[in-house]
Amino acid sequence: MVSRRALLALTLVFLGGPAAARAQAKAPAPEAAPASFEDLARRAEEARQAGRLDEAESLYERGLALRPRWAEGLWALGTIAYDRDLAAECRDAFRRLCDVEPAMAPAWGLRGLCEFRLRAFEPAHEHVEKALSLGMPPSETLGRVVLYHHALLLVREAKFDLAIAPLTSILQFQAATREVETACGLVILRRPTLPGEIPAPDRAFVQEAGGAYCALLGRHTDDAVRRFEALVAKRPRERHLHYALGLALAQRGSADSLDQYRREVELFPDEVLARVELGFGLVARGREVEAIAPAEEAVRLAPGLFATHLVLGRALAATGRLDRGIPELEAAAAMQPQIPAIHLALARAYAQAERKADADRENATFRALDSARRGPSSGSPPPPEAP
């Protein structure tokens, strides 16, 4: 939730006094504002500044009756309702503001947050994604709150891998809070639920696992390893913990990660993610022949997961079995065409097969996607393309 102080700061930035707010509005103003409207706007602002919110709300409503596209008034009504936990009124105000100012990211974000409170999850998901697409920087409090709720909505839909990115963005700008730790716990334990719906006996464990995973996402590798080792010692047969410890050890560069992935598979024969990571870990160490078996089993268990085809395709291509490896990589690219690494792997496989035109096409796709991912401010060079 956005704190009262943060919301007040946002309000002051947007409002900045009636004249400043009107100067920011993109909707055309009437040719001549009625004096009664100017008086209402002044009195509403004075009441809001003094904390007389009932009076301010009434005055803003009267002003909006005279000027329905008054962006300043809609913002003020929405933030007052948000601060008072009046979710329906908040949603309605920001819905109107989004119609008036369709490019205003904070309005879309707060609309989505209010819908989340109302458990209207489908529109909430749509509108927080709209806000993020318009630009909600994680360096600002509201941006991080929107990212957090986006992650929760993805978790609820069991889209755990997609929830990693917003949580990582949050952790680049702040330390992990209890709320963020719980969200991270739901991701690493693959539990498609909201924090308030976690059974009481599990809450402490989910947060503890989430604290370890937050450390991993924040690249505090030694802390992550220590925490996951402690969890594995306490719950050696808990699903996903050996896999998580493997991820932490892999971030450290330790080959011990492979043993943790194998242990996860031993405990849970239907486990896919540990097989995928085991395959990638073996490929990275030049043990591609060993990687084929876990990768093939991962594809059999989860044929709709792009990563299973990617790891199998890479292992097969590295062992010269291009007749099988290339179709696997093509399947991964068809499932997730926006991931640069897939196109790079495919370009290299095409180059091995002496399919120059195909390799050139995939290299071009890789460069375009990688450049977009890095953004204009990145000073780091891109990884090498296929020869």
Q: Which CATH class is domain 1-132?
A: mainly alpha
For residue 312, give Cα distances in angstroms to 131, 194, 240.
Answer: 37, 34, 22
Looking at residue 36, its pLDDT comes to 84
Q: What is the pTM of this model?
A: 0.85
What's the rounded Cα separation, in Å, for the pair 335 and 304?
Answer: 8
What's the rounded Cα separation, in Å, for the pair 56 and 140?
Answer: 27
Are 108 and 143 contacting, i.e. CB atoms less than 8 angstroms apart?
no
Mean pLDDT by 10 residues, the chain (387 residues): 52 40 38 67 93 94 94 96 95 97 97 98 98 94 97 97 96 97 98 97 98 97 98 98 98 97 98 98 97 98 97 97 98 96 97 97 95 59 48
User: How many degrees, rounded to 5, is the angle at CA 223 between CA 204 and CA 233?
Assistant: 55
Q: Which SS3 state, helix, strand or coil, does residue 90 take? A: helix
What's the rounded Cα separation, in Å, for the pair 355 and 358?
Answer: 6
DSSP single-letter state for residue 33: -
Looking at residue 27, its pLDDT comes to 40
Structure tokens at 102: 């369709």
Looking at residue 7, its pLDDT comes to 55
What's the rounded Cα separation, in Å, for the pair 228 and 287?
Answer: 27
What's the rounded Cα separation, in Å, for the pair 211 and 182?
Answer: 8
Q: Which SS3 state, helix, strand or coil, does residue 28 take? A: coil
Give residue 325's identity as a one-letter amino acid code: G
Looking at residue 375, its pLDDT comes to 58
Looking at residue 2, its pLDDT comes to 60
Third-level CATH fold of 283-387: 1.25.40
- Tell me which H or E stretch contains 199: none
CATH code 1.25.40.10 region(s) in the chain: 1-132, 283-387
Q: Which SS3 state, helix, strand or coil, does residue 210 take? A: helix
Report CA 209 to chain centroid distance, whole Å: 19
Looking from the CA of 276 toward its CB, the CA atoms found within 13 Å total: 17
